[in-house]
Amino acid sequence: MSTLGNIIWLICGGVIAGLSWFVAGIVMIVTIVGIPWARACFVIAKFNFSPFGRELISRKELTGRDDIGTGFLGLIGNVIWFLLFGWSLALIHLIGAALCATTIIGIPFAWQHVKLAAVSFAPIGKTVVKKHLAEAARMRDAQAELNQIRGEQPQMALPQNPAPIVSQAALPVSAALQLPPTPTMRVARGESVVGEFTEAEVRQYIAVGELVDSDWFWNEDKGEWEPLSTIQ
């Protein structure tokens, strides 16, 4: 179904819109100073050629943390972008939306043009993922926000004082020389336990986006669950 939608979309202005974004990216590269904007142009140009089944989403919404494109610098970049190219690309999409809407059967494609017109105002900080991944990221953020509003901790059938899991292999040395077990942290997301990790592993997973600040960990010293955002 997505394949058929993408084919019809190309006929309904997708080719022109995609080429417009691609040309904007080339111009940004030629100017040298516009190179930071070129990446966003090419991402959205590629999306224009096959938008059905995929979705544009903020990288912050996807990963749960800010980066250079989703923070203050990204905001400044989007303002400059709109003044230079954004308004013209938005106009192209709005014209395409109007033409598609007049055919009645082209209304779904008109709506796609409208969404791309909105993206034309602020493309920096966006990435393209499959639709189900975007929905999963939004559900995760919504659950984390709801938990924060309610002031709730993860509700799991776990002992109040879970004993640390020691997975250290026995060493062929005397008991006096054996190393102490490495402390572990029990991590949860929503109502599911993700696993047991050392603090170093947790920091590494946060850095690559596998774990996010809204996940929870068991603080053995306090005997309660706390968000990963409290880890300094």
Task: Look at residue 157 in the predicted model and tell me its pLDDT.
Answer: 44
Q: Could you say which DSSP state residue 31 is in? A: T
| The residue type at 172 | P
Beta bridge partner(s), residue 219: 224
For residue 1, the number of C-alpha atoms closer than 13 Å in the C-beta half-sphere is: 2
Task: Look at residue 158 in the predicted model and tell me its pLDDT.
Answer: 45
Task: Look at residue 153 in the predicted model and tell me its pLDDT.
Answer: 56
Contact 205, 189 (CB under 8 A): no
Supply φ then ψ for residue 31, to 5 degrees.
-75, -10
* Helix, strand, or coil (residue 145): helix
Task: Look at residue 167 in the predicted model and tell me its pLDDT.
Answer: 44
Task: Look at residue 179 in the predicted model and tell me its pLDDT.
Answer: 52
Task: Look at residue 218 in the predicted model and tell me its pLDDT.
Answer: 77
Domain spans of the chain, in order of start: 2-146, 154-230
Q: What is the pLDDT along the chain (232 residues), one digit of tens a residue?
A: 678 888 888 888 888 888 989 998 899 899 888 888 888 889 888 888 888 888 888 888 888 778 888 888 888 988 998 888 889 888 988 998 998 888 888 888 888 889 888 888 888 888 888 888 888 878 877 777 777 777 665 554 444 444 444 444 444 544 444 555 566 778 887 667 777 888 888 887 777 777 777 778 876 766 677 787 777 5
Q: What is the CA radius of gyration of the chain?
A: 24
Going by their DSSP bridges, the two strands 224-227 and 192-197 should be labelled as unpaired
Burial class of residue 196 in the structure, from the number of CB atoms within 10 Å of its CB (0-12 exposed, 13-18 middle, 19+ buried) = middle
Q: Which residues contact 25 (CB under 8 A, 6 or more apart)?
A: 37, 38, 39, 41, 42, 45
Task: Look at residue 151 in the predicted model and tell me its pLDDT.
Answer: 66
Task: Look at residue 178 in the predicted model and tell me its pLDDT.
Answer: 52
Flag whether the pTM goes above 0.85. Answer: no
* Helix, strand, or coil (residue 228): helix
Alpha-carbon dihedral 97, 103, 107, 110, rounded to 10 degrees? -10
Task: Look at residue 36 in the predicted model and tell me its pLDDT.
Answer: 80
Task: Look at residue 6 in the predicted model and tell me its pLDDT.
Answer: 84
